[in-house]
Structure 1
Amino acid sequence: MHLFGRTRELQALGEAFTDSARGHGRLVIITGGHGSGKTQLVHEFLTTLNSTGAHILTGTAGSAERDHPMGLAGQLLRIAQAECAMSHPAPSAVHSSPDVRRPTDPAHQPVGAPAGHDTAAETLLRLAGGDRPLVIAVDDAHAMDRASLQTIVHLLHRGRSRRVLVVCATSGHLGETRSPAHTELLRQPHRRVRLAPLSEASVGELLAAQAGRALPGHIRDAYHRATAGSPLLVHALLDDSTHSAPEIGLPVAGAAYRQAVLSLLHRGAPGHVRVARALAALGGLAGTVPVGELAGTTPAGTQEAVDVLNSSGLLDGHAFRHPTAAAAVLEDMDAVARTRLHGRIAHLLYRSGAPAVEVARHLRLADLVPAGWGAGILRTAAEQALAADDVERCTDYLGLVLRDCADERERHALSVALARAQWRTNPAAATPHLEPLREAALAGELSMRDAATVLRYLLWQGDTELAAQAVATLVHAQSPADAQIVAEVEFVRQWFYGVALPGKGAPVAGLDPRRRQAHAGTGGLAARVAALIGGEATDDSAAAVAQALQGHQLDHLNLELAAMSLLAVAHADRPAIAADACDALLERAVERRATTWQALLGSIRAEIALLQGDVTTASQGALAALGTLRAESWGVLIGLPLSTAISAHTALGSYDEAEELLKHDVPEPMFRTVFGIQYLRARGHHFLATDRPFAALGDFETCGRLLREGNPSLQKGIPWRSDLALANLRIGKARTAREWAEEQLRLPGGHSSRARAMALRLLAATCKPHRRASLLRESIDLLKACGDRYALAQAYADLSAAHYELGEYARARLVARQAAREAEACRIESPVDAHLLEDPVRPDSADSDAGPAILSDAECRVAGLAALGYTNREISARLHVTISTVEQHLTRVYRKLNVANRSELPSKMLDHRIPKLSDRWAGTHSSAG
């Protein structure tokens, strides 16, 4: 450890040596806190004397020597004897020399021998009798035994006119009181060198020397704040920081720092150690609690300890400068003693009226629930911790109370409260607390709020039958507040999970939020959402729900209600509004570190992106949400992010990724909820995209059956009939497809513009070209209104194909470009044939001065049908023109394309990039018959 910032102190020692070398005996007392560098300063000073020829004797007055008279003096005499032995090699000369012989070995003299210290002092002084000055350096002089102290004092008295310098480094304290040796030394004529902590500039110099360059001021300041300029602590932090990184940055407190802290701690008296431990345990409350009562020290002793700890750089007032220092001090304690200390602190804090959270912190660390008041304090602190989003601390407090609770009803309430807190971050962790409460919930042994929590658990895990039974038993609520809770649980059960009561297709009387008064808060929100879902929405109802969400406070009861509200707004053709509201709620969930909320809201946000046609964002968001919770924590809700991710990857053409997602294990009860239905729909569309239409048909038929049997009220909101129409269209059953599409369109409200648009598009695929184009234009208008750009790209592609079949090639190209633009916005491949995005070229004609010729739209229509093999009569009937007109068009086509007969038309049209009937149209046409 190099010395920095001690130039003046070294200079003072040098001046004292110069005076002593001239025959003026000197005493220099070096004072400073523990770790201030006293020993290092002495060592550095003695190094400067190597070329002076001085006799140098060094000794340390440690605690081990304190009970042995002449302990320190013995060290000095042994060094003196060794030095003389080197100067006089003959053993007889050494032992007989009067200059170094000790009449009685001081280390073995009887206690209280009257002449020991005088004789030792004279023996030492003989070394100063020659040409070489004598320098005696004593470290930890405050711990000097009395006989050695008398030796040093006698030497100082006799050496005032001798070439003697005595340097004593002392902290000034011995145990709890002022050191007698220190006090006695101060009575002698002396020069004091006081070692103050390193200044910020000196710390910066030290850091620069280590780094090889000047470091920024904020790094220097950080080191100084953490150490108060203690050289020992600064070097320890440097060791840790350079160990973890090649460059010196902000201080890192590791093993070296912890060791330095403990070294400083145990240099002090036992009482100082006890005070340090009490302060470390108290933390921020150190200034408000009688520390002496905890440490067993007097007020004066406590203050003395605080002063010493401050001077050593550990404390700033009553607080540790670095949290690692406090942790190291506590970890150094015996575990039982540490536990008892926290218990005593908790009692002191409780008696002083400290906040519950502070008392509870120490009760937890003491693993203690005092009779009479402990449980109440811990429960209060748990509520406050949860309000501050500290789930871990909340569950620790509640778990401690539950462990010592014997009352069964109280244990039920504690178990629910504990599960409610754990649900925020890990629903699976709540299972052991809620599983035993199923019967209690059915029997009405829980409060309404607690019963609602158990019901949410049942639904989350897919136990829909038991949940429905429990809801039915709660119909007769005793208070408006309880009735509101029951109504909200019923709303979530029916509309979010999609589970009806056994044998019922509608909510139990008195539970339907649509028939209840729209109370403030979540009650009013539930009623508005139910209106949207039930098809009773007005133009402003979606905006009203979104507005209500803006002030919505997420809590343990209404997360699913908020999620259902977002989905309702999105499906009511307001996905942009839903996205903004969801982003706001998601931001709050992240701020509150609520993992479960983040996962569910992230899944909803991905679903909204899918409804907007942003399939890339949907896939990324769904996968991120899926990874937020472990699979066992998702319960049946795993179907939500999975279905979105599968649908998005399928839309992107990432079929392998979708297949991998389909390999995820899903709980069987999921298929009794709406999440299972959404999963089956996503899988079915993936099957269609990968040429497995019959497998898709099976999934879609299952969706319809589950909805009819489980919750008919949801059928209007899930377009499974359109799914069946698409599957039948793919297997060539156009008539069946048309029937399903028409049935979807006949539904009396309750389905979004998006659902109607998709049904119109499917119906168009079964119709003749003119009718098809009309239906597709209506579908496109609806898709523009609802904001689904992916479906819009597909509809534009269909319309382009319809215009092409009608021979309206210019329109086909125009609409194809619109399809391509929408596809580009969705970051997917264009759904139209590439030739429709290119301008046709005129064939070169060597015989024509007018330049290249191009076919008119009418000629293109005739040529296109002729190239497909249609006869002139068939073309005439299809285009509603005379056979003569067909022949005239073909004549001009032959001349412009320089062909002899119609068999050459396909290749010539391809050569000149003249539009042909697209594969998209051909596939549709073949199934429309």
Structure 2
Amino acid sequence: MLTEREQETALVARVLEDARRGGTGCVVTVSGPLGIGRSALLGALAEAAVLEDGPEAVLVLRAGGVRSERDFALGVLRRMLEPLPDAAVRLPARAETAEGLGDIEAARVRDEVLAHAAGRPLLVLVDDPHWADPWSARWLALLAESTEDCPVVLVVAGRHDRAGAAETGPLARIYARTAHELALRPLTRAGVERVITDCFGEPGDDAFVRSCLAVSHGRPLFLTALVRSQRAAGRRPQSVAAKALRACRPAAVGARAVQALAVECPPVKETAYALAVLGEPAGPGVLTPLTGLTADECTAALAALAAAGLVERGEPAWFAHAAIADAVENSLPASETAERHLRAARVLAEAGRPPEEVARHLLAAENPPTGWAIGLLKAAGRDALQRGDLATARRCLLRALLGATAGGPERAELLVDLATVERSSAPVASLRHLTQALPGLTTRGRRARELAMVPPLALELAPPSLTAYFAAAAVELGADADRDLRLALEARLRYARLGELRPFTETVAEFGRLDPSATPGSPAHRDLAAVLVHAATLAGEDAPRCARIAREVVLGEAPSPADARTAVPLAVRSLLALDLLDQADSWLTSLTVLARRQWGDAAAETQIALAERAYSLARRGWHTEAATLAARTLDRADPAFTAVAVRCCETLALIVAEAVVPDLARRTLSAFRARENALIPAWLGNLVDGVVAASNGDAEVALEHLLDCGREYDLMGWGNPAVLPWRTWAARLHHRLGAEALAHDLIEEEHERAAAWGAPTAHGRALRVWASMTEGPRALDLVREAIAVLDGSFGVLELAKAHILLGRRLAATDRAASAEHLARGEQLAKACGVADVHPHGEAGTGSHPADLTPAETRIARLVLAGQANQRIAEDLEISLRAVEKHLTKVYRKLGIAGRGGLPDVAYLLEPADAG
């Protein structure tokens, strides 16, 4: 049922009744803008009329003009007469063009139709008469002139009222006979509410109704398309859907608009196209140079568009709905659209409009920009950067680059701007574009300044060509150059070359010459101090001095979001290696919050902060939280952005190696290694492959990779076990494979290095693992020393493992002390969020460490009884290999080194009711 069209339907019903009684009819015209519901009204009139029955029932004939059939003779008339029997009306075999003959034939067809009606009222409904073929239009004009003598009611629904109708031709003859004009009006708020309720089955709230009224302008076509789209999307008529409502572009609205525009004259079409391409409200002053029309012609064209309902009346002009603007622009060929955008850009630039407004059109043009357009795009890119609109800035600069001369200074400047824009959003591309720009920069000082702006951590795996530029810039500047500029370049060059033994050794030596009492005064000085203390930490040199300088660098100033673009996080890594976790973690937490607030989660700065934070959590022993954060950060980051990829992989490798909650970490590392564009240094690749292989039970492959990692570490001069305890992990694997001498050599060296560095976690870990590979009183001395070193430190998880190891070693001799240490270990582990931990750092199954499977328990008891593996295999009718595999799991779960340790934990193998 139509909404708020009761008066119109009542009027047509009344004139039909007058035709039935008086034998005379009339012409009724229906007008209104696009989407106002003209066709829907005709449909409702036809439906109401055909419901009548009896000898005086109304005969309804209905048809509409179609643009594609305008040249099809008698097309409208043929469709209109389809309901009549074939013998009722005889149409001409062909359309006559002679006016006299045409009128004679038209009168004959009219008379045959009236004869078939046999005195009944005849309701003729015609939609879009402007698309009717000429012969059908002539017939309709003759029928309109006959309404004074015949019971014919002709209802014509077109876009124009009488004032806007053609002055000559058949349509003019029809409108000249108009007796009633129905100018359809937009729906009121009450009508909008009814449509919403009918569509959703529930009323809309105030905000939703107001949005519907504002966006649709009360036009039923617009309104129906909008509310149906929201219902199809599963939304309810509530305020939360208002934003989606405004963004909706119903296809039905756009299609009808393009059809309506097609009937207009060329100046009107040209004005509509110009307005759509311009993409913003405009008046004749802007549209005139775009269209090539005069101001008066533009004004008349806008009036015609408003009369058609395509644009709203008023100044400046804009389309009645955003879907119309989109559809009109999309109806143009792509090449023509691009040319119009270029024309719009030039017009707006000449009018002095802001660069970002002009750039929008240059971005839509297909051809590479030239001259003035390049400069304007560059200016727009810089303005967008100032606004924080990095996406627009990047698009503008990339477009400008298409027209810049290769190797020229203009291209170099654009590449520098592009590198600046991409620093947060695309750090890998930023470095690449800066490297491309450097040869074209005109002065040495300019090259040095741009290099000094590169975030130090972005140079984790700097390409050799870029490292060479840093070295050259440092030499070119000379001793008389700006001190901060020299310090900034030195910091970045030293960090980029930390993986080379000789430069690394020189950097460590330079750290020894630092004055620990001097406060880093400038950001450049702070960067250099952070790099130097990081190098000393990697080398394991002078822990007290490292602590003083790292604290000064990190805590000397309050954290700011820009710190993620500096080398300060390197000094935080030193604090972590020194077990100064509270200071490091507090700073990283603040940095993460600030970076997120400033740039969002996707920015490179935030990803750096998150990666460092994940490592800090892992060092605390909070492996579940660390694995989750590192995995999520690694997944979101560019796999070639090594500042993030390396730190996340280090974190995940540490978690897998400690094997407390390894599943997520192992899966993430395996997936990362499978990515083609993943980029990490060779030592870290071996580390990752080694810990994953160990976690999968392949000890030999794991050991090979870890030893390769260690060799690469030594070749770089990095030997601090507090940074990477690879010797501990390799020693454990040697022990598992039965190479006791090699295992003890490695762990003894690890202990010596860790003790020299002095950080409790590294020192305690080495002692605890050494104890796990040792038998007798010496093992108890080592694990007790580990507990003493770790007690009160941040190595809580290591302390938990040490207590559990000691508890198991005391099981056979001192059950009370054993239970006390086991309980203490479990308590500490739970404080780290770990429900089950083994002293070797190997994962449990989520149950008590001594909770063996029935098969494992049976085999362990047979071993305790003195039976050999071969005899056990024969008695149980299983393979010798199966026995050995079961025993390996038994030893791991019970935390013992082998068969000789079973007597110490024999009580764990007793039945539950054994007392």
Per the normalisation by structure 2, the TM-score is: 0.72
Residues 271 and 305, structure 1, Cα contact 8 Å, conserved in 2: no
Which residue of the other structure, out of 614, 620, 623, is the alignment partner of 1:612? Answer: 620
How does 1:658-807 map onto structure 2 within 5 Å? 658=666, 661=669, 665=673, 676-677=682-683, 680=686, 705-711=711-717, 717-718=723-724, 731-733=739-741, 736=745, 739-741=748-750, 743-745=752-754, 747=756, 752-761=759-768, 768=778, 771-772=781-782, 775-783=785-793, 786=794, 788-801=795-808
CA distance in 1, matches of 2:905, 2:748: 37
Structure 2 vs 1, CA of residues 482 and 330 (structure 1 numbering), >3 Å: closer, same or farther? farther
Shift of 1:697: 6.6
Matched, 1:486 2:489: yes
CA–CA distance in structure 2, aligned partners of residues 739 and 144 of structure 1:
99
Amino acid at match of 1:819: G
Partner of 1:829: 836
Instruction: Give, as a single letter, the amino acid of the residue that structure 2 aligns with 1:576.
Output: D
The AA in structure 2 aligned to 1:165 is V
Alignment RMSD (CA, Å): 5.7
Q: Secondary structure, in 3 states, of the residue corresponding to 1:197?
A: coil
Q: How has the CA–CA distance of structure 1 residues 442 and 565 changed in structure 2, closer, same or farther, with 3 Å as cutoff?
A: farther
**433-442 or 49-58: which moved more?**
433-442
Work out the CA distance in 2 between the residues paired with 1:439 and 1:160. 89
Contact 2:809 2:904 in 1 (8 A): no
Alignment of structure 1 residues 544-693 onto 2, 5 Å: 545=554, 548=557, 550-553=559-562, 559=565, 561=567, 563-571=569-577, 572-574=580-582, 575-584=584-593, 587-588=596-597, 591=600, 593-594=602-603, 596-597=604-605, 599-629=607-637, 631=639, 633-634=640-641, 638-650=645-657, 651-652=659-660, 654=662, 658=666, 661=669, 665=673, 676-677=682-683, 680=686
* Residues in 1 aligned to 2:778 and 2:314: alpha-carbon distance in whole angstroms: 88
Offset, 1:335: 1.6
Gaps of 5+ in 1: 96-101, 839-866, 869-903, 917-929
Q: Secondary structure at the match of 2:153?
A: strand
Q: Which residue of 2 aligns with 1:854?
A: none
Q: Do the aligned residues in 2 keep the contact of 1:272 with 1:305 (CA within 8 Å)?
A: yes
The yes-or-no answer on 1:139 pairing with 2:143 is no
Please give the secondary structure, in 1, of the residue aligned with 2:155: strand
| Structure 1 residue identity aligned to 2:570 | M
| Residues 184 and 402 (structure 1), Cα distance of their counterparts in 2 relative to 1, 3 Å cut | same
1:87-106 Cα deviation digits (max 9, x unpaired): 6x9x9xxx9xxxxxx9xx99
1:829 to partner: Cα distance: 1.7
Write out per-residue CA displacement over residues 359-393 of structure 1, whole angstroms, 9 at most, x where no aligned residue.
11111211356654222211122234445555554
Matches of 2:598 and 2:128, distance apart in 1: 58
The answer to whether structure 1 residue 180 and structure 2 residue 167 are counterparts is yes
Render the CA deviation track for 1:379-434: whole Å, top value 9, x for unaligned. 12223444555555433322322222225233334335445545645566568756
The one of 820, 826, 841 aligned to 1:820: 826
Residue type of the partner of 2:158?
A: T
List alignment gaps of at least 5 residues for structure 2.
Answer: 537-542, 852-864, 867-902
Q: Does 1:168 align with 2:156?
A: yes
Partners of 2:910 and 2:209 in 1: how far apart? 76
Where in structure 2 are the equivalents of 1:38-53 lying within 5 Å?
Answer: 38-50=38-50, 51=52, 52-53=56-57
- Residues 491 and 512 in structure 1, CA contact (< 8 A), matched pair in contact too: no
- Classify 1:17/1:804 alpha carbon distance in 2 versus 1 (closer, same or farther; 3 Å): same
Conservation of the 8 A alpha-carbon contact between 1:526 and 1:561: yes
Q: Is the 8 A contact 1:426 1:629 kept in 2?
A: no
User: Counterpart of 1:11 in 2: which secondary structure?
Assistant: helix
- 2:871 aligned residue: none
Match of 1:197 in 2: 186
Corresponding position of 1:885: none
One-letter identity of the residue aligned with 1:330: E
**Contact in 1 for aligned 2:126/2:155 (Cα 8 Å):** yes
What secondary structure does 1:474 align onto? helix
Q: Matches of 2:755 and 2:589 in 1, distance apart?
A: 32
Per the alignment, residue 232 of structure 1 pairs with 221
2:339 counterpart residue number: 340
Structure number with larger C-alpha Rg: 1
Which has the higher mean CA deviation after the structures are superposed, 445-454 or 163-172? 445-454
Q: CA deviation at 1:33?
A: 1.0
- What is the CA-CA distance between 1:658 and the residue it aligns to? 3.7
Taking the aligned partners of 1:288 and 1:837, their CA distance within structure 2 comes to 87
Q: 1:522 to 1:29 in 2, by over 3 A?
A: farther
The answer to whether the Cα contact below 8 Å between 2:342 and 2:361 also exists between their aligned partners in 1 is: yes
TM-score, length of structure 1 as denominator length: 0.71
Shift of 1:581: 3.0
CA distance, structure 1, for counterparts of residue 595 and residue 426 of structure 2: 17
Q: Which residue of 2 aligns with 1:923?
A: none
* CA displacement at 1:6 relative to structure 2: 2.0
Determine if contact 2:341/2:364 at 8 Å carries over to the other structure: yes
Identity of aligned residues (%): 19
- What letter is aligned with 1:36? I
Structure 1 pair 465/264, CA: closer, same or farther in 2 (3 Å)?
Answer: closer
- Written as runs of structure 1 = structure 2, the 5 A alignment for 1:136-285 is 136-140=124-128, 160=148, 163-172=151-160, 179-180=166-167, 190-206=179-195, 208-209=197-198, 224-236=213-225, 253=249, 256=252, 258-284=254-280
Aligned residues: 822
Contact 2:601 2:607 in 1 (8 A): no
How has the CA–CA distance of structure 1 residues 664 and 552 changed in structure 2, closer, same or farther, with 3 Å as cutoff? closer
SS of 1:34's equivalent in the other structure is coil
Aligned residue type for 1:274: E
**Helix, strand or coil at the partner of 1:553:** helix
Alignment of 1:163-562 (within 5 A): 163-172=151-160, 179-180=166-167, 190-206=179-195, 208-209=197-198, 224-236=213-225, 253=249, 256=252, 258-284=254-280, 286=282, 290-297=286-293, 298-308=297-307, 310=309, 318-320=317-319, 323-368=322-367, 371-387=370-386, 390-406=389-405, 408-419=408-419, 421-422=421-422, 424-426=424-426, 433=433, 447-451=447-451, 459-461=459-461, 463=463, 467=467, 470-471=470-471, 473-477=473-477, 478-480=481-483, 482-490=485-493, 492-493=495-496, 501=503, 504-506=506-508, 518-521=520-523, 523-524=525-526, 527=529, 534=536, 535=543, 536=545, 542=551, 545=554, 548=557, 550-553=559-562, 559=565, 561=567
Task: Name the amino acid aligned to 1:46.
Answer: A
Shift of 1:701: 5.8
TM-fit CA distance, 1:343: 0.8
User: What amino acid is aligned across from residue 646 of structure 1 in structure 2?
Assistant: A
* Residues 58/486 of structure 1: CA separation in 2 closer, same or farther (3 Å cut): same
Question: Distance between the aligned counterparts of 1:759 and 1:302, measured in 2?
Answer: 86
After the TM superposition, which of the residue ranges 687-696 and 735-744 deviates more from structure 2? 687-696
Deviation for aligned residue 1:827: 2.7
- Are the equivalent residues in 2 in contact too, given 1:33–1:312 (CA < 8 A)? no
Give CA deviations for 1:287-324 in whole Å, capped at 9, x if unaligned.
Answer: 69712432345242243145246467999974456655
How has the CA–CA distance of structure 1 residues 295 and 479 changed in structure 2, closer, same or farther, with 3 Å as cutoff?
A: same
Distance (Å, rounded) in 2 between the aligned partners of 1:776 and 1:523: 39
Q: Secondary structure at the match of 2:621?
A: coil
Match of 1:886 in 2: none
Is 1:722–1:740's contact at 8 Å kept on the other side of the alignment? no
Supply the distance in 2 between the matched residues of 1:498 and 1:226 (Cα, whole angstroms): 65
Contact 2:720/2:754 (<8 A) preserved: no
What displacement does 1:819 show? 1.0
**AA paired with 1:776?**
A
SS at match of 2:332: coil
Contact 1:525–1:548 under 8 Å retained in 2: no
Paired with 1:405 and 1:200, the residues of 2 have a C-alpha distance of: 56
Structure 1 residues 129, 578: closer, same or farther in 2, change over 3 A?
Answer: closer
Indicate conservation of the 8 Å contact 1:501/1:507, yes or no: no
Check the 8 A contact 1:26/1:160 in 2, yes or no: yes
Q: Offset of 1:818 from its aligned partner?
A: 2.0
Q: Give the match's secondary structure for 2:364.
A: helix
The yes-or-no answer on 1:30 pairing with 2:30 is: yes
Matched-pair contact (CA < 8 Å) for 1:125–1:155: no
